[in-house]
Amino acid sequence: MRQRKSSRPVIGSTVSLLSLYYQDMQHDRYGLELTTDSADAAAAYGEGADRMLASRPGGVALMEEALAIDPGFALPHVALSRSYQMAGQRDEAIASADRATALASSATEREQSYVALQHRLLSGPADEALGSIKSHIAHYPLDAMALAPASSVFGLIGFSGRIGRESEQLALLAPLAEQYGDDWWFKGVHAFALVETGRWVEGRELVERSLELNPLSAHAAHIQAHALYEAGEDIAAIDFLGAWLPDYDRSGSLHCHLWWHYCLLLVAEGEAEKAWAAFDANVAPDVSTSPPLNILSDGASLHWRAKLAGHEVGEKRWNDLHHYYQERWPAPATFADAHASLPMVALGHFDELDAHIAEVERLQADGKLAAGTMAVTMAKAFRAYAEERWSDVISTLQPHLHEVVCIGGSRAQRDLALNTVLAAYERDGRWDEAEALLGTVTDRRPNHPVGQTN
């Protein structure tokens, strides 16, 4: 092991207390060796990793603190690279990954493999990165930070464009359950995989245990919101989020998205005024510091679903989202595209929409979009809805509802498509056909499928 002295002591930090956990040869809380001689650097890294796994604020600062203590510690650079990548700061992500590589020659084989993984995540293609993670986990199954990019609906499997991705996600995680045991992070991601495959009762049990072990985990709170949504327990979800969210700092990466869940539930319960107040304070583009993808998709989805439920949205709100998309997305990206068409449709920017659709179709023809043209199909259905062509909405979108999974995101997010079809049936007075469609959804209990109160 390298012999390196800390460059400075930890002052005014909880890390010095945590360092008691990382004595002797330094290890993370999963027992994996860390190539640093500083217990304080290991503690800072360990706590920073936990904060990142929980989507709690402070993870980046703790990684930076670990490097200030031990500038030769490679792993904090990997964590910072991933954080930059998730925030859309590609240049910074590459620079951090390069610094990790420069330091990794004296690290363990496990750490060197993890460093290489981050480079593959940045350079793609996604399937190769996923293959590398699977190979790494086969040797180091408890390397949670390496597994994390492949463990959520926004991960490598989640955005793979494959119809069977939800079962694929569960198949990756379920075999690891025994090795992780009563670990709060793994119970959360395993729970989410169960919820998304219709096993929300089992998922709810796991995520409630995750919350018992780490009540501050935003990821666990998020998964609990999904489990309650799938069970049709909207009031319980509102009560849970209403109690949990006020203590979650807006710098947390899930801040926008968790408030979206809360706003969506309020809309479904007919409390639009309260929902807009919460949206304006926490989700709107001019106030949120969350990842751009969440700001765009959550905002557009809430606006459209409010429209489906008969609530007034207003041109300014749509304009704000449209401007945000124009500023942040210079090129098409499937999940963003599926939502970016909504402001164009709502504002009547049909020439722009046609150009957008043509560009997506061109990229798909070139094999550059994993999810094909599902976003185009959705855009055409949204336009038909805005023009009150109810039958066209239904004939365009309903035959492809089973394919919407390709765009990524969760079941709750993809209800955007299902709700649009159901609302078209309702507007066209075709109640029996709407009921028949709902009857095909056998493993879920959404309380208000269209968003209107009964």
Tens digit of pLDDT for each residue in 376-389?
999 999 999 999 99
CA distance 305 to 328: 23
Query: pLDDT, tens digit, for every residue of 351-401?
Result: 999 998 888 888 777 776 665 678 899 999 999 999 999 999 999 999 999
User: Does 54 have pLDDT greater than 80?
Assistant: yes
For the record, the structure tokens of 45 come out as 């890294």
Confidence of residue 319 (pLDDT cuts 50, 70, 90): very high
User: Does 347 have pLDDT greater than 50?
Assistant: yes
User: What is the pLDDT of the chain when averaged over all its residues?
Assistant: 89
Q: At what angle do helices 411-427 and 218-230 cross, to 10 degrees?
A: 30
251 contacts: CB under 8 Å, gap ≥ 6:
57, 289
What pLDDT is stored for residue 16 in this prediction? 40
Q: Which residue's entry shows tokens 């399937």?
A: 127
Classify domain 250-439 at the CATH topology level: 1.25.40
Q: Is the model more confident about 207 or about 414?
A: 207
Percent of the chain with pLDDT over 90: 73
Boundaries of every domain in the chain: 15-123, 250-439
What pLDDT is stored for residue 13 in this prediction? 38
Query: pLDDT, tens digit, for every residue of 231-259?
Result: 999 999 999 999 999 999 999 999 999 99
**Half-sphere exposure of residue 2, counting CA atoms within 13 Å on the CB side?**
20
What pLDDT is stored for residue 438 in this prediction? 87
Query: pLDDT, tens digit, for every residue of 265-280?
Result: 999 999 999 999 999 9
Confidence of residue 17 (pLDDT cuts 50, 70, 90): very low
- Span 163-183, average pLDDT: 95
CATH class of 15-123: mainly alpha
| 15-123 against 250-439: fold identical | yes
Helix (H, G, I), strand (E, B) or coil at 27: strand
Confidence of residue 67 (pLDDT cuts 50, 70, 90): very high
